[in-house]
Amino acid sequence: MRFFPVALERLTEQFARLPGIGGKTAQRLAFHVLSLPEEEAADFASAILEAKKSVHLCPCCMNLTDRELCPICEDDDRDHSVICVVAEPRDVIAMERAREYNGLYHVLHGVISPLNHIGPDDIRIRELLARVGRGQVKEVIMATNPDTEGEATAMYLSRLLRPMELRVTRLAYGIPVGSQLEYADEVTLLRALEGRRDI
Amino acid sequence: MRFFPVALERLTEQFARLPGIGGKTAQRLAFHVLSLPEEEAADFASAILEAKKSVHLCPCCMNLTDRELCPICEDDDRDHSVICVVAEPRDVIAMERAREYNGLYHVLHGVISPLNHIGPDDIRIRELLARVGRGQVKEVIMATNPDTEGEATAMYLSRLLRPMELRVTRLAYGIPVGSQLEYADEVTLLRALEGRRDI
């Protein structure tokens, strides 16, 4: 026997397809949407359609944008000879928050991950090579996550880029500022020691 | 400086309004929706609108339905002289899963909770009294949650119902079947002892 209206079950299924949302949570979210005023539910639905319609990838850096070129690529005050390679759009925000970097970005939209069947052709590597191939670029900074897949992706890319006569660098590893030494893991400490600098 | 397209931020805000969804999760969900094929995103949006349009409360038991009367209230094979009072629509499912109960339901849509400014008039108590007032009902079973607010609500209702010449009962408290005695809390054990039965 069916206890809930079909439309409610359909909405629950839609929520359950989202990453990290299980069946119980999906049901809770669906109930919540039903309890919203008509207008707010309509706003939610139109936000989905509007985002899907207006947002696309910047043809230069592959970041998400609703303009022809994203604001960073469009900005002539930024250094167009440096490209920082990140895995996801949210990493661009993290970098920008540091207010230090003034070059451009390239968003890979993923990392190479053989276990998940994601190879070099499944992320935006081709676009990066084409971009670098057009000359002008002097340095590529790898800023993928410091985990196995992020490192493997950075290594793979640096091998491809090295013959192209430019500097390929990687963000420094080390102990995070404000952290406590006693809680740092061994690998991080090892990297911090290897990367030590004169003061 | 704005890093993301307005439409993406609007969608993120919409997700962040859902209960239990924080800012980071909302962003992750918004990115996910952007990565969906056009058609699936449209399905999601229409599921929201469709659910909101077709689902309403059953005028008899206040459960969610898309028909005039919900399938349970409509079912002539069920005992219309017994009403089981629950707090939420999902509690109806839990009860039905036991495949034992054959009466009708009444969904309160909440419990009395002075701390959250939810009084008797904010939940569907008036509708229950009107229903019982029409006669025909011989027993009302309280099946609100066994927590402070659920119990207080059950007590409040039973005081209102007692003068109406019908049986008012409550689900039995006790140790859950399949659980282990050593892990049962004291209050549950006390209630199980009080409610002990001859075998």
Co-location of A116 and A158 in the same domain: yes
Best B48, B68, B105 residue to mutate vs chain A (most A CBs within 10 Å): B48
Residue B15 falls inside a structural domain: yes
pLDDT cut 70: percent of chain B above it: 98
Report if residue B24 sits inside a domain. yes
pLDDT at residue number A195: 81
* Same domain flag for A16 and A82: no
Residues A19 and A100 in one domain: no
Span B90-131, pLDDT tens digits: 889 888 888 888 999 999 999 999 999 999 999 999 999 999
In chain B, the number of structural domains is: 2
Q: Tell me, yes or no, whether A78 and A40 share the same domain.
A: no
pLDDT band at A25 (very low <50, low <70, confident <90, very high): very high
A116 in the same domain as A85: yes
Same domain, A78 and A157: yes
Question: Residue A39: pLDDT band by 50, 70, 90 thresholds?
Answer: very high
Phi/psi at B134 (5° precision)? -75, 5
Closest CB from B29, B51, B65 relative to A18: B29
pLDDT per residue of chain B (199 residues) written in tens, 0 to 9: 566 889 999 999 999 999 999 998 999 999 999 989 999 999 999 999 999 999 999 999 999 999 999 999 999 999 999 999 999 998 898 888 888 889 999 999 999 999 999 999 999 999 999 999 998 899 999 999 888 999 999 999 999 998 988 999 988 888 888 778 788 788 888 888 888 877 6
Tell me whether strands B56-57 and B64-65 are parallel, antiparallel or unpaired: antiparallel
- What whole-number distance in Å separates Cα of residue B39 and Cα of residue B32? 14
Written as six digits, the tokens of A62 are: 């592959």
**Percent of chain B as helix, strand, coil, to the nearest 5:** 50, 15, 35
**What's the pLDDT tens digit per position in B178-193?**
778 788 788 888 888 8
A1 within some domain: no
Reduced to 3 states, what is the DSSP secondary structure of residue A142?
Answer: strand
In this structure, the answer to whether residues B49 and B71 fall within a common structural domain is no
Residues B34 and B89 in one domain: no
Residue B103 shares a structural domain with residue B138: yes
- Find the domain containing B41 and state its range: 6-54
pLDDT at A185: 82
Q: Is residue B59 part of a domain?
A: no
Asked whether the predicted pLDDT for residue A132 surpasses 80, the reply is yes
Domain membership of residue A62 (yes or no) is: no
Shortest distance, CA A176 to any CA of chain B (angstroms): 21
DSSP secondary-structure letter at B170?
A: E
Q: Which of B1, B2, B3 to substitute to test the interface with A, most A CBs within 10 Å?
A: B3
Q: Dihedral through CA A155, CA A64, CA A171, CA A81, nearest 10?
A: 90
What CATH number does the domain containing B42 carry?
1.10.8.420
My answer on whether A26 and A93 are in the same domain is no
Complex prediction ipTM: 0.76
Collapsed DSSP state (helix, strand, coil) of residue B140: strand
Q: Do B179 and B89 share a structural domain?
A: yes
pLDDT the model gives residue A181? 78
Q: What is the pLDDT of residues A140-156, one digit of tens each?
A: 999 998 889 999 999 99
Closest CA to A79 of A57, A98, A105: A105
Structural domain includes residue A153: yes
| CATH code where residue B97 lies | 3.40.1360.10
A41 lies in the same domain as A73: no
Q: What is the distance in angstroms between the Cα of B17 and the nearest Cα belonging to chain A?
A: 10
